[in-house]
Structure 1
Amino acid sequence: MNQLPPPTRVGRPQTAPTNEYDDGPFTFRPATKDGFTATVAIQGPSGSGKTWTGLCVASGLAEGQRFAVIDTERGAAALYVNDLDIAFDTLPMHRYDPRDLQKALAAAAQAGYPVVMVDSLSHFWKGTDGTLDQVDKAKSKYGGNKFAGWKDGTPLQNDMIEALMSYPGHVVVTMRSYTDWVLENGQPVNKGMRAEQRRGIEFEFGVAAEMDKSNRLRFIKSRCPAFRGLVLDQPVGARDIAKPYLDWLRDGAKETDPSIWVDAATAPEATADSLLALYREVEASSALAAPLLHPDTGKPISLGDLIKERGTALKAATS
């Protein structure tokens, strides 16, 4: 009868050291509206007035300051600069890699624009080098399996949306839309208009509305009670949308200045402990993904990653 070999003792596998930034405590804090900014999405077919309305909303949110427009619509926004008598700067985009939108947002944040408008966000989904293109390119890594290509495409899309929602100022986006037909019992059924973006994208925004070719705007989602179920004919964006939204956000809240966090993260006197505390403060304000440009390399980086990078380096230097 064969005997089993004697047991061999092996050491327990070494676990990776705990990352103090990523494994912080779960701490509940009093709920406040401090630091919240407006995020507005306007979708509609060509000719519905979404660019015009978006510019009016952005201008109202900017309250007289210049704002930034990330333009994928061949200069459509700039055509209205004299008609609307508002001040904004544009950045024309011709490739729509989601990472390029992150870079553009970081540049806008670095320049201190209080509002950024993306006209339109649809291109970063289905335009040249957009998310769908990235998925199609990635499928070759997985034997031509396009479904597997989403392993690459989904993180790019998610990181882009996170950077957009974390912009240190107000955000307005437009999106193209189309009629969504589905088959039910073998018959085509009209399910209404759908944005040319990831399904459910409207739920990322504080306020989302759709426009038709009669310039009629209908709110389809709103955290602001003033807009729920509201329909506006030929809305005046600054008066009808921006002002009531700002009034609601500011009711009982104090505004925060994200540049204070950036200054603290790059301060010469910062320590590993102070940067860890700063990270927790930024984390509590849901601003870790705020896009900015690295002070040394000039490349896009999130505020959270900048704090973590410097804090980790300082701790290693003193250990």
Structure 2
Amino acid sequence: MDTENGSADLYSHLGDYNVLSLTAPFSPERYIDAIRDCENAGMEAIIIDSISHEWDGKGGCLEIVDQLGGKFQNWAQVTPRHQSFIEAIVTSSCHIITTVRRKQDYDMTKDDKGRVQVQKAGLKEITREGFEYELTANIEMDTRHNATASKDRTGLFMGKPAFIPSEQTGELIREWCESGIDIEQETKSAIAKLANCASIDELKELKATLSPLVHQHPDFMKAAKTRYAEVQKQVATIE
């Protein structure tokens, strides 16, 4: 999904891929429709280059708020639309990679004489604050194309030296994506193990050994709550 004036064509030497060009207005709904079009076309992976226009582009969220009057209460109408855009990304059946523009950020401070000073405060992503919390991994690039992770649920990049992304990087991510577990089967197995837990400590130990996806599963949580109550009752009877 190209919002950068045809820049997707600059990477044609890397291999075959499809391009969906998205032009203004860059409303949340147009991004959502584009994601759905990719899904319906059978795409397995989507690169959105970039999401910044949805926030700060022509027809994006900031402009929509201005058109509504520019008042704080106008965000009550725009925030749900932006949230729907985020939900379309995180709930998509496709793997999604998003890029975001960055700009220099500044802080207003006072010196020891009370004079206001403007200081550089690093680079800031041009999208609504907090977007990276929705991501599995957030990779930041410097001007020399070196990448570091500011967030990484995969464990592939966090705390590692800066690197230049390559095909091997993509292969690592793909292998991680394909190394998942069968949640339903693992949940059934975990529920069966609950019956063998005779103490609260054993219940806690079982939970600690499970994948977070399993011990957050509604069926497991319901069964664990029931078994917890049973164990507490047994302990009280013995005492």
Asked whether the 8 Å contact 2:51–2:100 carries over to 1, the reply is yes
Which of the numbers 92, 106, 109 marks the counterpart of 2:36?
106
Q: Distance in 2 between matches of 1:212 and 1:75?
A: 23
- Taking CA–CA contacts closer than 8 Å with sequence separation of 6 or more, which of the two structures ends up with the larger relative contact order? 1
Note the alpha carbon deviations across 1:197-224, whole angstroms, 9 max, x for none: 0012111110111111111111111111
State the shift of 1:228 in Å: 0.6
Give the TM-score, by structure 1 length.
Answer: 0.53
State the shift of 1:110 in Å: 0.7
Give the TM-score, by structure 2 length.
Answer: 0.70
State the shift of 1:254 in Å: 4.5
Q: Which residue of 2 aligns with 1:280?
A: none
Which of the numbers 12, 17, 28 marks the counterpart of 1:88?
17
Q: Which amino acid aligns with 2:7?
A: A
SS across alignment from 1:232? coil
The reply to whether residue 253 of structure 1 matches residue 184 of structure 2 is: no
Q: Which amino acid aligns with 1:249?
A: C
Which of the numbers 73, 78, 82 marks the counterpart of 2:4?
73
Structure 2 stretches lacking a partner, 5+ long: 111-115, 185-216, 219-239
Q: Distance in 1 between matches of 2:180 and 2:59?
A: 43
The 5 A counterparts of 1:111-260 are: 111-139=41-69, 146-185=71-110, 186-236=116-166, 238-240=167-169, 242-254=170-182
Q: Distance in 2 between matches of 1:231 and 1:175?
A: 22
Structure 1 residues 254, 111: CA separation in 2 closer, same or farther (over 3 Å shift)?
farther
Note the alpha carbon deviations across 1:115-165, whole angstroms, 9 max, x for none: 0111111011111110111111222xxxxx521111111111100010111
Note the alpha carbon deviations across 1:257-301, whole angstroms, 9 max, x for none: xxxxxxxxxxxxxxxxxxxxxxxxxxx89xxxxxxxxxxxxxxxx
Bigger share in strand:
1
Identity %: 28
Bigger share in helix:
2
Aligned length: 180
Asked whether the 8 Å contact 1:138–1:152 carries over to 2, the reply is no
State the shift of 1:98 in Å: 0.7
Asked whether the 8 Å contact 1:178–1:195 carries over to 2, the reply is yes
State the shift of 1:103 in Å: 0.6
Structure 1 residues 246, 255: CA separation in 2 closer, same or farther (over 3 Å shift)?
farther
Structure 1 residues 107, 218: CA separation in 2 closer, same or farther (over 3 Å shift)?
same
State the shift of 1:231 in Å: 3.7
SS across alignment from 1:199? coil
SS across alignment from 2:20? strand
Structure 1 residues 75, 192: CA separation in 2 closer, same or farther (over 3 Å shift)?
same
Structure 1 residues 124, 231: CA separation in 2 closer, same or farther (over 3 Å shift)?
farther
Note the alpha carbon deviations across 1:55-104, whole angstroms, 9 max, x for none: xxxxxxxxxxxxxxx1100111112102x1x1111111111011000111
CA RMSD of aligned residues (A): 2.1
Structure 1 stretches lacking a partner, 5+ long: 1-69, 140-144, 257-283, 286-319
Q: Distance in 2 between matches of 1:235 and 1:100?
A: 30
